[in-house]
Amino acid sequence: MPAQEFLILADNPALDFLNTLAQGEEGPVEYLETNKDVVAWLKSIGYLNGRDQRTFPREILADRARALREVVRKLVMQRKSGKSIDIGALNSFLMHGRYKVQLARGNDGTLEVRHHFDMDTPEQLLTPVALAAAELIATGDFNLVRKCEADDCVLWFYDKTKAHRRRWCSMAICGNRHKVAKFRQRQKDNTEPG
């Protein structure tokens, strides 16, 4: 699946990761079916550059990515509902990760912090995702973490709008569909004899 087809609309990488399992007209749409899909998603989100070429046997990377996604989904839903959360499974992913932090000079001479992640195992390749999820769970404002209001949509987003009134995963997708449905209902109501 080409990277441009991924749903990068949540304004948070951990929530974009959740959105790799979406709902289509025919049922669930799995964006992480193969190892190649996972690598493409990691590149699209900026966690891998074009030079990184990782190969893993069978579909172990895809299996581990889907497992991590379900861990993150459970934590987001527990945190959103105010329930006590079980952080053990996410910590298990984080324990596998190894990375170094370095203060470096950018090309323009400014200072920047760079994170260098080991990528020898599927868990290590997924460490930036697990780290983003941990940051969201620990520091995210869950009043602004929302599921799309469309009844048939399962996508999540972080509402970074100024007024914090975002309702849809995407205005172009669900918001527009909602507007059209309301318009049709008004048209129907106006034409029915009363």
1 assigned to some structural domain: no
Which CATH number goes with the domain that contains 21?
1.10.3300.10
Q: Which domain holds residue 107?
A: 7-191
50 assigned to some structural domain: yes
Higher local confidence (pLDDT), 57 or 107? 107
Structural domain count, the chain: 1
Residue 61 CA to residue 64 CA, distance in Å, equals 5
pTM for this one? 0.84
pLDDT value at 192 more than 80: no
Tokens 């983003």 sit on residue: 132
pLDDT value at 2 more than 50: no
Higher local confidence (pLDDT), 80 or 194? 80
Q: Is 2 exposed, middle or buried (0-12, 13-18, 19+ CB in 10 A)?
A: exposed
Higher local confidence (pLDDT), 5 or 74? 74
Contact yes or no for 4/10 (Cβ under 8 A): no
Q: What is the pLDDT of residues 117-142, one digit of tens each?
A: 888 999 999 999 999 999 999 999 99
